[in-house]
Amino acid sequence: MPIVRRWLHAHRRWLILVLVCLMLLLLPSPLSRAYAEFWARTTLQLSQIGTIDGCGFDCQGCGAVATQKTLLGYSVQLEYACGSLPYDDPKYHQRRTVFVSFLGTVHGWP
């Protein structure tokens, strides 16, 4: 028994760190679905500031199409249109999946 006690005492910091990391992974994300969709859309819109004839959500059926909760946040699929379109047709729309982390950062959009 003293050997186990000595080992636990020597590796106490690592054990605490591992336990804290496991608890963070098992806790649900503090983000809501609406918050994740909002930041995914806002990131695309902010990336287009200053771009002439850029991409946006001003089309039929565009926006956050699908949202799925993942281990560390949300995966949001966006549908948007770029450039001057002759008319609003879904064949001109583009889709991209971005990841919104539990910290609120958006990844997958340049």
What is the model's pLDDT at position 38?
94
Contact 77, 94 (CB under 8 A): no
What is the model's pLDDT at position 29?
65
Mean pLDDT of 71-99: 89
The sign of the dihedral angle between the CA atoms of 108, 94, 41, 99 is negative
**What is the pLDDT confidence band of residue 84, given thresholds at 50, 70 and 90?**
confident
Mean pLDDT of 56-61: 88
Burial class of residue 49 in the structure, from the number of CB atoms within 10 Å of its CB (0-12 exposed, 13-18 middle, 19+ buried): exposed
